[in-house]
Amino acid sequence: MTALVTGCSLGLLVCTRCRATVRAIGAESSRCPRCGSPLHARRPRSLATTAALLITAALLYIPANLLPVMHTHTFFSDQDDTIMSGVISLAHQGSWPIALLVFFASIVVPLLKLVALGEILLAVSRKSLRYAQQRSRLFRLVEFVGRWSMLDVFAVSILVALVQVQSLAVVEVRPGALAFAAVVVLTMLAAQSFDERLLWDAKTGD
């Protein structure tokens, strides 16, 4: 292959769902002949949708980390736990592998998603020519690890169901958990609405 030829320049569209390559027939509202998904040269309003979802997620990230996610009431004490204090108490307990797992899933992954998607959106809007390869790798990493931040939401739900021994120990959900769950869902939707091809468009110049 000598020059880089894109689908756009050949009048070919690719279905982002089933990956069939299809000849473009002019009409904007065409559907994939194989699976029936809508076909677009580039997903319409991809940048704006991703940006809106990402900004909402970034705002909710603040209460998600500052507000308690869980409240433990025992005979001896009452304790509020945030995402971070949950990780710290696991580390104090000496369960290092589990503490690291939760730290990674609940602290590193959400932050990585917000920063990486933000950087990618800025690069695309600046029509940056460099690092398309690195950014596409970063984007795929974000897509791949995104779901793991649901870990704490599930853990809190199980604790709530299990620890309901009246007068001895009761675990309750707190608003931080709701904000955190919203951050996970919104960042996943943000990644899904981003059209990866935008990263390469500046390079091929069409």
- Answer for which of 48, 66, 98, 122 binds other proteins (CB under 8 A) is 98
CB contact at 8 A, 66 and 176: yes
53 binds other proteins (CB under 8 A): no
Lookup: tokens for 123: 């690069």
Q: Does 68 participate in binding other proteins (rule CB under 8 A)?
A: no
Closest separation between CB of residue 45 and other proteins, Å?
18
Side-chain-side CA neighbours of 95 within 13 Å: the count stands at: 11
Per CB under 8 A, does 178 bind other proteins?
yes
Name which of residues 9 to 28 contact other proteins (CB under 8 A): 9-10, 12-21
Residue 64 CB burial class (10 angstroms; 0-12, 13-18, ≥19): buried
In the complex, least distance from residue 168 CB atom to other proteins, rounded to whole angstroms: 6
- Binding-site member from 108, 141, 169, 202 for other proteins (CB under 8 A): 169
Q: Candidates 2, 4, 29, 78: give the one binding other proteins (CB under 8 A).
A: 4
Residue 161 binds to other proteins (criterion: CB under 8 A)? yes
d(CA 65, CA 83): 6
In angstroms, what is the minimal distance from the CB of 51 to other proteins? 20
Helix (H) or strand (E) run with residue 81 in it: strand 78-81
Residue 192 binds other proteins (CB under 8 A): yes
- The reply on whether position 101 binds other proteins by CB under 8 A is yes
CB 186 within 8 A of CB 60: yes
Q: Name which position in 28, 44, 93, 122 contacts other proteins (CB under 8 A).
A: 93
Can you tell me which of 88, 95, 125, 130 binds other proteins, judged by CB under 8 A? 95
3-state secondary structure of 129: coil
Give me the sheet containing 169-173, strands edge to edge: 78-81, 70-74, 169-173, 164-165
Say whether residue 60 binds other proteins (CB under 8 A).
Answer: no
Asked whether position 127 contacts other proteins by CB under 8 A, the answer is: no
Name which position in 57, 181, 186, 190 contacts other proteins (CB under 8 A).
181
Buried b (16+ CB within 10 A) or exposed e, 146-178: beebbbbbebbeebbeebeeeeeeebebbebbb
| Contact status: 84 vs other proteins (CB under 8 A) | no
